[in-house]
Amino acid sequence: MFVIAIDGPSGSGKSTIAKEIAKKFNFTYINTGSMYRAITLFLIEQNLLLPLKEGKIELQYILPSIDIELKEDFVYLNKEDVSQKIRSPEVTKEVSFVSSIPIVRKFLVQKQREMAAKTNAILEGRDIGTNVFPDAKLKIFLTAQSEQRALRRWIQEGKITDLQTVQSDLEKRDEYDSKRVENPLVKAQDAIEIDTTCLTIEEVVEQISRIIYNKFGDTLNNISLN
């Protein structure tokens, strides 16, 4: 098992870049954020979110009934393709709350470790290098100015809301994620930080590729890289 961890806030480019690096080096790509979104979607569709917030239900009895599969660019929730649904504004609004719940994080971290144990993998998220895989072979922390991250997210979401709202929501998510008690968004001490504000996707991919080649050199052939 060879794990590369890519962490960072929303809009830093981690999903697109992790996907490209995985493709280039023939690694399995695991988008951990989509797993939290899938659980959020499940709670919304089952009308469980409000009772959860009110303390009227116990998730330990619900989580075992949730099956999440990641296949290339698709996310399956109990066998249903929810790749588009998990990107809805409703899910985006609530995913920080759901992802801050300790039992949810414990449940998904276990799944993420099981998935990565079967293959060489690149995992991207917010606590991969600090919590999910603190012993990852390589840790990258991507960041960018909030204005640029908001612009990227606004374009990604199809410009359906105004840019200022997107930036405000993104900054609230940053604060929520960085201040949560359970595995907050922080840079691992041994992570390499890359500011993507003024860089293209290709430039970031090239920079990380150089880091991989320089760091692992002759061992690359032994971990099934292209």
Domain boundaries, given as residue ranges, for the chain: 3-214
Straight-line distance from the first to the last Cα atom of the chain, in angstroms, rounded to the nearest whole number: 16
pLDDT tier, 184 (very low <50, low <70, confident <90, very high otherwise): confident
Residue 80's alpha-carbon distances to 21, 27, 67, 206, in angstroms, are 27, 25, 10, 35
Q: What is the percentage of the chain residues whose pLDDT exceeds 90?
A: 74
Q: How far is CA 226 from the centre of its chain?
A: 24
Report which residue type is found at 112: Q
- Among 151, 138, 75, 148, residue whose Cα is nearest residue 108: 75
Question: Are the beta carbons of 37 and 128 closer than 8 angstroms?
Answer: no
Question: Are the beta carbons of 89 and 161 closer than 8 angstroms?
Answer: yes
pLDDT at 225 over 50: no
Q: What is the mean pLDDT of residues 106-127?
A: 94
CATH 2.40.10.10 matches 3-214: no
pLDDT tier, 22 (very low <50, low <70, confident <90, very high otherwise): very high
Report which residue type is found at 39: I
Q: What is the percentage of the chain residues whose pLDDT exceeds 70?
A: 96
Q: What is the mean pLDDT of residues 171-179?
A: 87
